Amino acid sequence: MDQKSLEQLMSKLLGNKLDAVLKTLDNLQSKMDKIDKLEESINFLSKEYDDFIPKIKSLEEENSRLADENVCLKAEIQNTANSLKIMKQELNNAEQYSRRDCIEIKGIPIQRNEVCNEVVKTVGDLIGVDIKDQDISVSHRLAAKTNSNAC
């Protein structure tokens, strides 16, 4: 084998080996590019995560504050409801007390210059009840009802 053919053979062998090495380097470069992109994505996600932590803490604090406020408002509503119930009962008691000696007599025709106390005593006599002036605190005619459906 001469020098020239030996060189060609070596060149061919080295060329094949070099092609394989270059192909491997291309694959490595492609994988390095993918790793760089993954690293970039991880860095981005890490920054986003770091940004979310204070936001989550803030929302948790606000949620806790709103839950506390909700408890206070529920207690206040319950107190108000209890007060309202008591006031309604007190109003009912006051209305009942104010009407304790009230009586309404219907169907008695109006007389000119009538004295209502005398009308009450006359009605008492007719039903067999003796009524004295001191038994009557107030007597008066009620206003006539108006028909709200009239045109």
pLDDT in tens, 33-45: 999 999 999 999 9
Mind listing the pLDDT tens digit for each residue in 86-95?
999 999 999 9
Q: How far is CA 52 from the centre of its chain?
A: 27
- Give me 62's structure tokens: 């606000």
Residues 6+ apart with CB under 8 A from 117: 133, 136, 139
Residue 150 has pLDDT above 60, yes or no: no
User: Between 3 and 41, whose confidence is greater?
Assistant: 41
Distance CA 94, CA 100 (A): 10
User: Between 150 and 103, whose confidence is greater?
Assistant: 103
Distance CA 126, CA 107 (A): 14
Q: What is the pLDDT averaged over residues 99-115? A: 88
